[in-house]
Amino acid sequence: MTTLAGTAPLTHSATLRRLLYEALAELGHDPATIYRRTNQNRRLVPPPMEGRLSHDEAPLFWLAADALTGDPDIGLHLGEVMKPRLLDVVGYLLLASRDLEQALRSFLQFQHILAGGFVAQLRIEGERVCLVLDLNYRGFGPLRQQMECLVLLFIKLLRLITDDDFQIDGLDLRHVRPVRIGEHLRLFGLQPNFAAEHDALWFPAALLRRPSRNANPELHRVLWQHAEQQLAELVENDLLNRLSYLLEMRLGRADCSLQACAAELAMAPAALQRGLAAQGSHLRQVREAIQQARAHALLQGGQAIREVARACGFAELSPFYRAFRRWYGIAPDAYRAKLLLEKGE
């Protein structure tokens, strides 16, 4: 898909890649061969101990993992053998936290150090807590194998923090229900709710107050400062950039109103407006820039006008035509004919 001009591509920590290499080897697979085949046999180097990886390249592995390994439940089995090692500042922050709630709020504050596409949230609903772990990629829907692996790994990490007291009493997954769920029942101890609105763990709210034996307030303070510095160095976390990425994913598929975008970014609508205004922008301007770029790309590919309108978030053709004339000065069908003529078709 077309990227909004001026936006920075999202990245993620190399932590999960290193854990995946180890887990693949433990399951009897050659990780270098699998990753090379995933990337069309390009020569790859082992994941770096430091540095960042391209966020939107991750789906290449997860979409091919089951076919390359011959295991339809490879995500679950990777998560089962994966060790919840504390390989970055976020992991150490969780371990040094006062209790589970502080650990989770530390994760939420610095989630984008782990992965630029995280839109995780903590929702306390009476006696239960919903920890949303949505992880999004431009041009891809929910990745079953990745999320099932990530959920198991996250549960292990929360058990490590709570001396094995952490237990879920519900699990929501955005992907559709697989044909067989025996491994889900074995590993999660319950049947997940598939095709849900979010990828989320549910657990008793009482666990939030569970103190940690590893709590170290002074170390937590130092680690927090270090994490703030790391986060500030990631240009991609600029509000305008993150909103642009979110709109590219939601446009034509989900609500792109101020309220919906603010909720996904864990912000109040007024705070989102103020943040954009401080950068000399507003939601409509960002949304229209993405719509304009997408319309150009799809028309250049010869797609039908109605399909282009829908992909740009227009339910009806008439408002699409009006917007398009404002952007390009001519009707979309005339613009498409012009583009195809320039290509010599």
Q: Give per-10-residue mean pLDDT for the chain (345 aa).
A: 58 88 94 82 50 86 93 97 85 94 95 91 95 90 95 95 94 97 97 96 96 94 96 87 89 90 87 92 93 92 92 94 94 90 72
Query: Rounded to whole angstroms, how far apart are CA atoms 115 and 14?
Result: 9
Strands 121-125 and 11-13: unpaired
Residue 4's pLDDT is what?
47
Residue 345's pLDDT is what?
52
| Range(s) within the chain of domains with CATH label 3.90.1520 | 11-217
Residue 267's pLDDT is what?
85
Among the listed residues 135, 204, 140, 127, the one whose alpha carbon sits nearest the alpha carbon of residue 173: 135
| Range(s) within the chain of domains with CATH label 1.10.10.60 | 238-345
Domain 238-345 has CATH 1.10.10.60: yes
The architecture (CATH level 2) of 11-217 comes to Alpha-Beta Complex (3.90)
Residue 344's pLDDT is what?
67
Residue 50's pLDDT is what?
57
Residue 40's pLDDT is what?
63
SS3 143: coil
How many helices (H) and strands (E) are present in the chain, helices listed first?
A: 17, 6
- CA distances (Å), origin 279, targets 272, 289, 328: 11, 15, 25
Between 144-161 and 74-81, two packed helices, what is the crossing angle to 10 degrees?
A: 20
